[in-house]
Structure 1
Amino acid sequence: MEQRSNKHQNKWERSLLGRLTADIGAATVSATLVAPAVTIIDRALVEKSLLNQSLLRGLRNHATAALKHPARFVFQLPFGIIWALYAATFTVANGTDTIGNAMSASSTGMITFLSTTAVNVPLGVWKDMRFAKIFGTRAAPVAAAGALDVARPAIVQNRAVARAATAIFLLRDSVTIFGSFTLAPKLSEIIPDSLTTHPHAKPVITQLTVPVLTQLVATPLHLLGLDLYMRQHTVPLVDRVKRSQQYLASTTVTRCIRIIPAFGFGCLANLELRSMFHEKLNS
């Protein structure tokens, strides 16, 4: 009896390890798929917000540079930062869900949200700080190669204001994570069959709409956080809000577009790959 129990335990552990390995594989591939588009969009957004550069021109120039010099684009720090952010986010979301289901935990959904937020939000804040430092404190030329020059004055450090900026970035990313990993799957379950009966259609609908709609809340927070980080000195709140929301409409549209590859197609690719890998393990 004990030997049979040990064999069952070993089989369960091997199965769990296989599913976790599949989770990592799905997360890695998904992050690789979304990183190019998100890197280009995030750089253009930072340059628009902090340097008042044309958003469309920035998107065109950086996309052209990436196509002309793909190796240089992929092996530069900004791409690596974005890839690491989404690879870690998808891996934790997948792994937590797999372990929770294996343990038959009743609160797997909440645990997945909390653990994913705990990983994504600090990494997202770190990413924004790095992008603001890399692209916000330097004037980006229009050269197709995408080289950076013309140094601008360094950011004046103010710990209190920097902490406020960090807190706003944390709130912004929590809104996005909640919409992408918790709210979207929940809403897909209540879509009536009269709208669609295809098993994959419901999650596709919610995954491509709910994360986008969260940007209506996240974008004002994003712009205010960037203003706090770049102007770390005493500024009236009304002035900060007025200046940071100057490009609210265009930035909201861009961030809504940005979220489609990041948490729309990215999450869908992750879900489909994860499901496919798990099915292969069970076959």
Structure 2
Amino acid sequence: MQHRSDEEVWDSSLFRRLAGDVGAAVASATLVAPAVTIIDRAIVEKSSWNQSLLHGLRRHALQALKSPTRFVFQLPFGIIWSLYAATYIVANGTDTISTKLKASGTGMITFATTTLVNVPMGVWKDIRFAKIFGTQTYAHNVETVRPALVQNRGVARAATAIFLLRDGVTIFGSFTLAPKLSAAIPDSITSHPQAKPVISQLTVPVLTQFVATPLHLLGLDLYMRQHAVPLVDRVVQSQRYLASTTVVRCIRILPAFGFGCLANLELRSLFHRKLNG
């Protein structure tokens, strides 16, 4: 009897739900990847080349609109898309399987697996973007090559550790704090039970960027200047554009962990209903 019970867990309904999870994740990643790609590139170029954030955002957005096919099939878009597709797939699939198995602490299991995927891939993304856009850029459509980075493993490890901490702050705020704090929203703001999670999902991840952005800028400085530099100088240099970068990262987090998460949840629910009709 036990063997039969185990087989029933992995029935066709579960696989249909997992297919819906993947479909929702892919669609959501496709929705958020263009904006995140443009913003992340502009931030790296601002930190490395002191280029205007607004100028970078406008230029890259116009290039994407003029040549959307080229934009989508370039490496930076692929990196961002892979990051969020993998994040949403793991979050969806873990929740579906844990719920099916009636596992205790489904929320914490989902948070743990999502962190294990998102954080390393997020660091990989930042390192790749730093190499692509920090060592060479295009100013007025003319390629300018920057001297090769001075490699220092100790400094590079420190940069990686700071990126890990930054992503940990963002993931914790997006997947743990946001759901918990939704219940704390007073009825005077909204009494609708579905509105509270939306409000918390659109505000809490944004607020985490007031902690994550200084870490992000310091990590970029460590990676781009891998030679001996006094810590005070690094802090001063990296935080010169803290205010503008914080604003941009707050805007950036909305598609990735605000609208992206909400779209993923809604599409996942829709696909589950359709596929299990």
- Calculate the TM-score normalised by the size of structure 2: 0.95
Residue 140 (structure 2) aligns with: 142
Residue 146 (structure 2) aligns with: 152
Distance in 2 of aligned mates of 1:279 and 1:187 = 28
Instruction: Give the 3-state SS of the residue equivalent to 2:104 in structure 1.
Output: coil
- Deviation of 1:115 (Å): 0.8
Residue 256 (structure 1) aligns with: 250
Distance in 2 of aligned mates of 1:157 and 1:7 = 56
Kindly indicate whether the alpha-carbon contact (under 8 Å) linking 1:61 and 1:142 is maintained by their aligned counterparts in 2.
no
CA RMSD of aligned residues (A): 1.7
1:63-212 aligned at under 5 Å gives the runs 63-143=61-141, 149-212=143-206
Task: Work out which of the residue numbers 32, 36, 41 in structure 1 matches 2:30.
Answer: 32
- Deviation of 1:5 (Å): 7.8
Residue 235 (structure 1) aligns with: 229
Distance in 1 of aligned mates of 2:232 and 2:120 = 28
Moved more, 253-262 or 100-109: 100-109
Moved more, 148-157 or 11-20: 11-20
- Deviation of 1:142 (Å): 2.7
- Deviation of 1:169 (Å): 0.2
- Deviation of 1:88 (Å): 0.2
Change (3 A) 1:135 1:6: same
Per-residue deviation, residues 148-179 of structure 1 (Å, max 9, x unmatched): 72211011110010000000000000111111
- Deviation of 1:267 (Å): 0.4
What are the ranges of 5 or more consecutive residues in structure 1 without an aligned counterpart? none
Instruction: Give the 3-state SS of the residue equivalent to 2:144 in structure 1.
Output: strand
Given residue 79 of structure 2, which amino acid in structure 1 is its aligned partner? I
Instruction: Give the 3-state SS of the residue equivalent to 1:140 in structure 2.
Output: strand
Distance in 2 of aligned mates of 1:160 and 1:265 = 37
Residue 246 (structure 1) aligns with: 240
Moved more, 64-73 or 134-143: 134-143
Distance in 1 of aligned mates of 2:88 and 2:101 = 20
Residue 59 (structure 1) aligns with: 57
Given residue 124 of structure 2, which amino acid in structure 1 is its aligned partner? W
Given residue 212 of structure 1, which amino acid in structure 2 is its aligned partner? V
Distance in 2 of aligned mates of 1:64 and 1:160 = 39
Given residue 37 of structure 2, which amino acid in structure 1 is its aligned partner? T
- Deviation of 1:11 (Å): 6.9
- Deviation of 1:13 (Å): 2.2
Instruction: Give the 3-state SS of the residue equivalent to 1:157 in structure 2.
Output: coil
Instruction: Give the 3-state SS of the residue equivalent to 1:234 in structure 2.
Output: coil
- Deviation of 1:281 (Å): 3.5
- Deviation of 1:17 (Å): 1.2
What are the ranges of 5 or more consecutive residues in structure 2 without an aligned counterpart? none
Moved more, 62-71 or 92-101: 92-101
Kindly indicate whether the alpha-carbon contact (under 8 Å) linking 2:170 and 2:205 is maintained by their aligned counterparts in 1.
yes
Residue 40 (structure 2) aligns with: 42
